[in-house]
Amino acid sequence: MNNFTHLENYPGYLINREGIVASSKSGEIRPMKTCMAKGYPYAVMSIDGKCRSRAVHRLVAETFIPQPMGRSQVNHKNGDPTDNRVENLEWVTPKQNIHHARDVLGVKFGNYKGVSKEEIHPIISLRKSGMTQLKIAGLFGVSQQTISRICKEHNNG
């Protein structure tokens, strides 16, 4: 099924190049549902009786993309934090990640209560995809007014 690869350090779990995480604990490969946190899909896996939550884009990058020295962050080339296909991901330095968001995608960094610099890009992407400001506010645990201000300052009303 879709060329799954075993996840290192996560026995009983698999991932494919499209960013689909699956469980094989029952002997059958079953795609797992992911949960959203701060605009990114996360897989929740049970290891030795403990739940571990991992960002899907990091699992894909760690499994399929060699990590160059000094590059610790995973960038979504097209700006969509839910598009976790191998061809959309790349290892970057924090500086390269900010450059991509600011200079390539047009993200402006400001000081928004309860929102980190890293969260601005996913907020803008979600708004561009048609998600309401109220729903985005709920995902990030901030007020709708904060999302409105971010969107207004980034011309994404």
Whether 157 has a pLDDT exceeding 70, the answer reads no
Question: Average pLDDT in the 118-147 region?
Answer: 85
Least reliable range by pLDDT among 15-19, 78-82, 114-118: 114-118
pTM: 0.70
List b or e across 78-116, with b for residues whose CB sees 16 or more CB atoms inside 10 angstroms.
Answer: ebbbbbbbeebbbbbeeeebbebbeeebebeeeebeebe
| Percent share of the chain, pLDDT over 70 | 94
Whether 128 has a pLDDT exceeding 90, the answer reads no
16's tokens: 């494919």
Number of residues that make up the chain: 157
The answer to whether the beta carbons of residues 29 and 14 sit under 8 Å apart is yes
Which stretches of the chain are assigned E, i.e. beta strand? 5-6, 13-15, 21-23, 30-31, 35-37, 40-47, 50-55, 73-76, 89-92
Question: Average pLDDT in the 71-93 region?
Answer: 94
For tokens 């060699």, name the residue: 66
Whether 68 has a pLDDT exceeding 90, the answer reads yes
- d(CA 150, CA 72) in angstroms, rounded, equals 26
Whether 86 has a pLDDT exceeding 70, the answer reads yes
Report domain extents, the chain: 5-59, 67-153
Whether 44 has a pLDDT exceeding 60, the answer reads yes
Whether 5 has a pLDDT exceeding 90, the answer reads yes
In tens, the pLDDT along 21-39 reads 999 977 899 999 999 887 8
Third-level CATH fold of 5-59: Homing Intron 3 (I-Ppo) Encoded Endonuclease; Chain A (3.90.75)
